[in-house]
């Protein structure tokens, strides 16, 4: 099988300046396979607190030292103007943009009542709105050239995890954004694929989430294993659109969404009907995948290969 390469493609990877981060791993992989890369990182560090600093110029330098093409960008993703500036770096240096990996993020942990208003706003601005603004900044270019691949980083925290309520809510919003953009592209027949990635890897941010088990993260969850999945999702051969993809430790899977068979009492249903038939309502035995599921209608599986 031919190697999956990105010769002639221009990629933007946000949050890519950490020495042990997912963004760096994604940028390095794309560059190693021929992509010209904008290494974006504001510099605050993967913890979002400035305890661990990030350096986009160092990662871009690593890529160039290995014979690749890269430029550093230190704009924020948290506002429309700064997101446009990130894309402006790609256009000024490389003349186009084909791939976007929305990896930038910060960590703000705490119970709902303990988080400050500033923590809440900053988390939403960087995670959810950062994805919105970056997607919007590249959108016109991708539509104009009828080509683009976008990977939006979400998290299993969206399903609920200790001290991550706002972070998880923002990540859930990212999945909604991803599904909506993918649907829009599918309806319009555009050659743009948008997918959401929930990574499992050893990063500095993961350390702040899981300090008691940090050694385990260091030992068995290399970011490079996740980067392999990002490489696929960024490639022209990508056969997924609107998918929720979980990847880490060499394992990749797609999350599906649906409903139980439920209980039907007709238009006269009462609160008591819901109470008295709750067992049937929540019974997973009759679970059916939603028709708009990311791998139903948007992916054609034939002869073991995924085709758009």
Residues 175 and 288 grouped into a single domain:
no
- For residue 204, what is the DSSP state? H
Residue 306 lies in a domain: no
For residues 35-60, average pLDDT: 77
Residue 146 lies in a domain: yes
Residues 201 and 269 grouped into a single domain:
no
Contact partners, residue 239, CB within 8 Å, separation at least 6: 299, 300, 301, 305, 306, 307, 308
Contact 269, 280 (CB under 8 A): no
Residues 233 and 179 grouped into a single domain:
yes
Residue 4 lies in a domain: no
- The confidence band for 307, taking pLDDT boundaries of 50, 70 and 90, is very low
Residues 219 and 267 grouped into a single domain:
no
Residue 300 lies in a domain: no
- Name the domain count of the chain: 2
| Domain containing residue 163: CATH number | 3.40.50.720
Residues 196 and 216 grouped into a single domain:
yes
* Tokens representing residue 172 in the block: 């859930």
pLDDT at 205: 60
Question: Domain range holding 80?
Answer: 10-256
pLDDT at 76: 94
Closest by CA position to 244, among listed 194, 202, 200, 206: 194
Residues 185 and 271 grouped into a single domain:
no
Residues 62 and 195 grouped into a single domain:
yes
Catalytic residue list? 167
231: left (phi over 0), alpha (psi -120 to 50) or beta: alpha
Residue 2 lies in a domain: no
Residue 69 lies in a domain: yes
- The confidence band for 189, taking pLDDT boundaries of 50, 70 and 90, is very high
Of the three residues 256, 282, 301, the one that is the final residue of a domain is 256
Residues 33 and 173 grouped into a single domain:
yes
Contact 197, 229 (CB under 8 A): yes
- The confidence band for 298, taking pLDDT boundaries of 50, 70 and 90, is very low
> Model confidence over 104-130: pLDDT tens digits?
998 888 899 999 999 999 999 999 999
> For the chain, how many helices (H) and strands (E)?
11, 12
- As a whole number of angstroms, the distance between CA 10 and CA 31 comes to 9
pLDDT at 161: 86
Predicted structure pTM score: 0.89
Residue 254: φ, ψ to 5°: -110, 130
Residue 214 has pLDDT above 80, yes or no: no
Residues 24 and 96 grouped into a single domain:
yes
Residues 155 and 277 grouped into a single domain:
no
* Tokens representing residue 228 in the block: 């392999």
pLDDT at 257: 85
Residue 63 lies in a domain: yes
- The confidence band for 208, taking pLDDT boundaries of 50, 70 and 90, is low
- For residue 82, what is the DSSP state? H
Most trustworthy range by pLDDT among 35-39, 51-55, 154-158: 35-39
Average pLDDT for the chain: 87
Residues 50 and 106 grouped into a single domain:
yes
> Model confidence over 222-260: pLDDT tens digits?
888 899 999 999 999 999 999 999 999 889 999 888 889
Residues 86 and 124 grouped into a single domain:
yes
pLDDT at 181: 96
Residue 303 lies in a domain: no
């Amino acid at each position: 099988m031919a190697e999956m390469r990105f010769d002639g493609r221009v990629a933007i990877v946000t949050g890519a300046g950490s020495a042990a981060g997912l963004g760096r791993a994604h940028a390095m992989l794309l560059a190693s396979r021929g992509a010209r890369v904008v290494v974006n990182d504001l510099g605050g560090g993967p913890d979002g607190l400035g305890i661990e600093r990030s350096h986009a110029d160092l990662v871009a330098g690593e890529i160039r030292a290995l014979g690749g093409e890269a430029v550093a960008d230190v704009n924020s993703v948290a506002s429309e103007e700064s997101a446009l500036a990130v894309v402006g770096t790609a256009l000024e240096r490389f003349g186009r943009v084909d791939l976007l990996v929305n990896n930038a993020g910060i960590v703000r942990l705490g119970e709902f009542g303990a988080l400050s208003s500033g923590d809440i706003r900053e988390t939403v601005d960087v995670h959810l709105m950062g994805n919105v603004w970056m997607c919007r900044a590249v959108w016109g270019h991708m539509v104009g050239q009828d080509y683009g691949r976008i990977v939006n980083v979400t998290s299993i925290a969206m399903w609920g995890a200790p001290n991550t309520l706002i972070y998880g809510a923002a990540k859930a919003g990212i999945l909604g954004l991803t599904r909506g953009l993918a649907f829009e592209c599918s309806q319009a027949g555009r050659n743009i694929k948008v997918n959401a990635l929930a990574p499992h890897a050893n990063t500095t941010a993961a350390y702040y989430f899981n300090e008691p088990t940090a050694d385990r993260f260091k030992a068995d969850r290399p970011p490079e294993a996740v980067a392999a999945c990002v490489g696929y999702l960024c490639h022209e051969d990508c056969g997924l659109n609107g998918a929720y993809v979980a990847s880490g430790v060499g394992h990749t899977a797609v999350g599906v969404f649906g409903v139980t068979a439920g209980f039907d009492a007709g238009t006269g249903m009462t609160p008591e009907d819901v109470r008295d038939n709750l067992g049937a309502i929540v019974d997973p035995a009759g679970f059916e995948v939603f028709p708009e599921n990311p791998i139903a209608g948007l992916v054609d599986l034939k002869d073991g290969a995924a085709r758009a």
